[in-house]
Structure 1
């Protein structure tokens, strides 16, 4: 099928992923691939090399593809990276930081949590004090863009502290890699975890870990899981270039390759960051004109997803507001923070400035006919 013949989606996904993709990314999945064939294995290797080039110009880094969602990749990283006698410190300020801690708890990994609350970044002084006081801590993990609120955490500053104290650093860049310029080496990250279906604008079913090779090499037989053994997955892809240990999501991988080519054609991460930033500016300005206020201060806000305070009108119902926007062609996200009533709107995916202007028009109509109220 010619991509132009594919039907349009009934609505745009204004979410942090899965998100709206191009027809050409979807069309890439219309062919079947053999996991043993050189054509497919070559694509896998090209993806791995491309991801490393996106992450840094420094030598000594590698990329490992993993089946499953981004959480699968994070669990593979945590359960492979942290030794049995090690301890993980999680810097949490939202649901996804707390999820890292839950992975550690479920897998019996010693861990501590510094929870700075959902409206504040991690406290660097508290981190320094903990690393000085507790020599058992071997690894520190943080979420780069915490999509609970849309907060962008200062990963480079955190990384400098972690490295100054001789610990390893794990960065969850799930919703930021490919959409915000970053350098894994400048972060001091030993592991950076992300997913195909976020800013790269692929589809769900595959994630990846970019790791320092010298660090990953030390994790042999450390993993607490067979299928989530990051080291074994890497060794297989190295020894048999492009080969996966178990059945790979071939169609998803092919869509990821297409999405990476489209990211390059757009002008790379800097160009995509500029587009997402413009989407965000249009969104915030338009919503403020309609008396919706962002949850976060501007200096804490990422261009990935924006949380807005729900109206204080006693009859406000998010579900009715959601339904009216969906009927007008836009799907947004409910809030996820614990102590404020919010909803969230994403700026990423195959979404452009004109789409954001149309969204504001749709919100204005929903407000005008009181569709968000009962």
Structure 2
């Protein structure tokens, strides 16, 4: 449970990250660490190996942690991997695909975008036509779980097309890695990005990249940023036995390491995915009984976060609904869909079926507009 320092009232975060963490993860941050200390650097190296185990990617891949939020790591990849005379095709059906477009435009990275509605899946035949017709495209980038809506995009099939046309494949797996089982090599991913405060259930403070070494080696000297150069970050970490180029978020790293141990103790990604799916299934069924309909169809829905249509009632206001739920001990997310008003409920983190059952009861008691 998280404590609100203003009211000292505990609540559960039902968001796609930051999320509710275990007491052990919180406690791991009580010790101070020196960034030059061999014990700390050894922990970093062990952390990197454990992440590669989750990715089912070993000898041909490496893990590169990067200070900052997950978006810092997305920008680090896009501005390091795509060279001056190269071009990325960005797939977008939500805010985070759009954000990749913004990053590239700001950094003057050549790009084009295949943009669709936030509730729709990509037309793979149309995508193939794009790849056939535009020979200037060298990279392909997509979000796996687009938390704008909760939709899960078909990265395996997209990866097949990327490699059929010899494109470098970049995946933003921010809200799926560690909570949805897949193999990075099997999905032919060259650069995967995630962060410490998502499905592995750590706290915010750094992101990380799982990179194919053969492609990473081609990135030397290509970066458009000094601090976000993933090639240099990797080189220093390799030569320094886990030493970061600049001051690392030591407390966050230690919390993340504890979270990795807890993921393994739970039974790994498959076991965690099952828990998330059970949470999400109970949530949708319970909300349906209360009259709330999910926006994304079942076959496209991720087990990470669910978007619901807002009640069509003149007295409904999200802010009031949010406040009443917070009084019951739950924090939810506003919607990001532009066409229809909505709200979102996540079910990742230290959240279990009993919590979902209590949430459903609390929502029923918070429907002030009825």
Give the distance between the partners of 1:287 and 1:105, measured in 2 at CA: 40
Structure 2 residue 59 is matched with structure 1 residue 59 = yes
Q: Which residue number corresponds to residue 268 of structure 1?
A: 268
* Comparing 126-135 and 231-240, the one that deviates more: 126-135
Give the distance between the partners of 1:84 and 1:338, measured in 2 at CA: 34
User: Per-residue CA shift, 1:181-216, capped at 9, x if unaligned?
Assistant: 011111111000000100000000011000100000
Give the distance between the partners of 2:66 and 2:122, measured in 1 at CA: 29
Give the distance between the partners of 1:35 and 1:126, measured in 2 at CA: 49
Give the distance between the partners of 2:305 and 2:239, measured in 1 at CA: 39
TM-superposed CA distance for 1:9, in Å, is 6.3
Structure 2 residue 196 is matched with structure 1 residue 201 = no
Q: Which residue number corresponds to residue 12 of structure 2?
A: 12
| Secondary structure of residue in 2 paired with 1:12 | strand
Query: Gapped runs of 5+ residues in structure 2?
Result: 1-7
Q: Which residue number corresponds to residue 5 of structure 2?
A: none
Give the distance between the partners of 1:119 and 1:295, measured in 2 at CA: 7
Give the distance between the partners of 1:128 and 1:164, measured in 2 at CA: 9
Q: Answer yes or no: is the 8 Å Cα contact 1:61–1:213 preserved in 2.
A: yes
TM-superposed CA distance for 1:331, in Å, is 0.2
Structure 2 residue 144 is matched with structure 1 residue 116 = no
RMSD: 1.2
Q: How does 1:1-374 map to 2 (within 5 A)?
A: 10-57=10-57, 59-367=59-367, 370=368, 372=369
Give the distance between the partners of 2:16 and 2:275, measured in 1 at CA: 15
Give the distance between the partners of 1:57 and 1:231, measured in 2 at CA: 18
Q: Could you tell me the TM-score, scaled by structure 2's length?
A: 0.97
TM-superposed CA distance for 1:57, in Å, is 4.6
Give the distance between the partners of 1:9 and 1:122, measured in 2 at CA: 43
Q: Answer yes or no: is the 8 Å Cα contact 1:75–1:228 preserved in 2.
A: yes
* Comparing 330-339 and 121-130, the one that deviates more: 121-130
TM-superposed CA distance for 1:315, in Å, is 1.7
| Secondary structure of residue in 2 paired with 1:203 | coil
In 2 relative to 1, CA 40–146 (structure 1 residues): closer, same or farther, beyond 3 Å? same
Q: Answer yes or no: is the 8 Å Cα contact 1:116–1:123 preserved in 2.
A: no
Task: Tell me which stretches of 4 or more aligned residues in structure 1 moved more than 6 Å.
Answer: none
User: Per-residue CA shift, 1:216-272, capped at 9, x if unaligned?
Assistant: 011001000000000000011111110000000000000000000000011110110
Give the distance between the partners of 1:225 and 1:61, measured in 2 at CA: 23
| Secondary structure of residue in 1 paired with 2:185 | helix
Give the distance between the partners of 2:78 and 2:52, measured in 1 at CA: 20
TM-superposed CA distance for 1:340, in Å, is 1.3
User: Per-residue CA shift, 1:148-206, capped at 9, x if unaligned?
Assistant: 00000000000000000001000000000000001111111100000010000000001
Give the distance between the partners of 2:337 and 2:312, measured in 1 at CA: 16
Give the distance between the partners of 2:62 and 2:296, measured in 1 at CA: 35
| Secondary structure of residue in 2 paired with 1:184 | coil
User: Per-residue CA shift, 1:87-126, capped at 9, x if unaligned?
Assistant: 0100000000000111000000110010011111122112
User: Per-residue CA shift, 1:7-26, capped at 9, x if unaligned?
Assistant: x9610000000000001001
